[in-house]
Amino acid sequence: MKAMKKAFKVLGIIVLLVVVLGFTGATIITSRGIPSYEIEKIDYQVVSTPESIQRGKKLAIMLCANCHKNSETRALTGTKMHDAPPEFGEIYSPNITNDKKFGIGNWTDGELLYLLRTGIKKDGQYAPPYMPKLPKMADEDINALISFLRSDDPLVVADASPDQPSEPSILTKILCNVAWKPFPMPTEAIEMPDINNKLALGKYLAHNLECFSCHSADFKTNDFMNPELSKGYFAGGNKPLNLEGQIILTSNLTPDPETGIGNWSEEDFINTVKYGFKKGEHALQYPMNPYTGLSDEEVSAIFAYLKTIPPIVNKVERSLYE
């Protein structure tokens, strides 16, 4: 009996220590907030041409506009991210127009490059995962994005709309300190895929337009450095939110004939991705918008690549909201 009482006493002390240590750790992390990192100075100068700006706009509309476009200013001045999971806090996207006070007008090209590659801002603070990072995008496309951001396009021309600071939750702060980390800056050049190699082009687009990120099993288990290793790679079932905060289950895009796109025609896929319709019926829901900027050849390449990946049986019921 005495031995049992002693065991319970020791167990109680251990539980108390775990609680105290956990509380202490959470308090330290909460007071620390989103972590900052040493900034690597990048010697980089963007090369802008009409073609690079046009390409950059095409990429920005697909990768940036959903989060940064403000319905009132009609520019990338930032807005409240209603589709951010509420457990992450109250999240606002920043102004990324060329305004020198509230936007990115005072950022160097190297600082923009470093942010897009690693997720580290010019002040060293980490940008949490709801801002996409592009560790595998070709140097030419990164250059195109930055050349567009530096342009006088109405989406990014200087606009002095002030940022609304985000209020990250304790969970976000903890995850940024223990799980979410910056990506490494590439040490070698990343080339564009050969446009004559349909499968290579499709794989590049499927990875770098963040298709795999939404259409794999869960954002938390995605592998951005090795997308094919993501859990449920392209099998859908992930749970992004729409602008009303409702879950929109993502579709299975593997070539499984019953639950994926194994029986889809190329025409069906192109019409769905570019225009949001399949056989005359609405096929897309926010956060997936029609990618009208993609050419038929690019969408065809994505379809061709998806048809080569391992099929996964995963029936995903379509999310329906009025």
Low-confidence ranges of the chain (pLDDT < 70): 1-32, 321-322
Identify the sign of the CA torsion 71, 46, 289, 220. Answer: negative
Q: Which of 82, 105, 107 is nearest to 93 (CA)?
A: 82
> In the chain, what are the domain boundaries?
50-178, 198-306
Q: Does 1.10.8 match the CATH number of domain 198-306?
A: no
Domains 50-178 and 198-306 share a fold: yes
pLDDT score at 20: 45
pLDDT score at 10: 46
Helix or strand run (H / E) with residue 90: strand 89-90
pLDDT score at 28: 52
Quote the tokens at residue 146.
Answer: 């930055």
Three-state DSSP class for residue 69: coil
Task: Give me the helices (H) in 33-85, please.
Answer: 50-63, 65-68
Burial degree of 148 (CB within 10 A; 0-12, 13-18, 19+)? buried
pLDDT score at 320: 74
**Spatial separation of the C-alpha atoms in residues 72 and 155, rounded to whole Å:** 12
Helix axes 170-178 and 2-32, enclosed angle (nearest 10): 90
Quote the tokens at residue 37.
Answer: 């990192």
Quote the tokens at residue 47.
Answer: 């090369």
Q: Does 1.20.5 match the CATH number of domain 50-178?
A: no
Dihedral class, residue 305 (left if φ above 0, else alpha if ψ from -120 to 50, else beta)? alpha
Name the DSSP class of 220: G
